Amino acid sequence: MATIERFEDLEAWKMSREIVKEVYRISKNDLFARDFGLCDQICRASVSVMSNIAEGFERDGKKEFINFLSIAKDSSGEVRSQLYAALDQNYVTQKEFDFVYGKADQTSRILAGLIKYLNQTEIKGMKFKQT
């Protein structure tokens, strides 16, 4: 596995950034924007994915990183669930739903793989390195 020096290098973070962009785009639809609760919640959940990946990475410890990746994965599931609510209320088209859902699902799978890898590796994190 290649050395990752910045959270911006992580594929999961890159994809979560795309999700944020798309969620904000679709939530600007007039009907969707008027549903303040759902609109706010799906935007916050999408940003949570991206933010938790970054925050966990910056902690420099494996256990902390895994914890934050798990929270990011949970938030990705929250985005997918809220997309169903948006679809059921006709706030988004099936095409928009499929696109954003697919990105969120793929991000969840990448996060699950990263969590599995970190759980199996001896790497403990930069703050545990002996100098």
Handedness of CA 19, 24, 25, 30 (dihedral sign): positive
pLDDT computed for residue 52 by the predictor:
98
Q: How confident is the model at residue 34 (pLDDT cuts 50, 70, 90)?
A: very high
Q: Are the C-beta atoms of 73 and 112 separated by less than 8 Å?
A: yes
What is the set of domains in the chain, with CATH numbers?
A: 10-119 (1.20.1440.60)
Q: Residue 119 is encoded by which pair of tokens? A: 């759980």
* pLDDT single digits (tens) 85-96: 999 999 999 999
More confident residue, 127 or 109: 109
Residue range 43-53, pLDDT digits in tens: 999 999 999 99
pLDDT in tens, 53-80: 999 999 878 999 999 999 999 999 999 9
Residue 29 DSSP symbol:
S
Report how far residue 90's alpha carbon sits from residue 73's, in angstroms, rounded to the nearest whole number: 26
Residue 62 CA: distances (Å) to CA of 49, 69, 98: 18, 10, 33
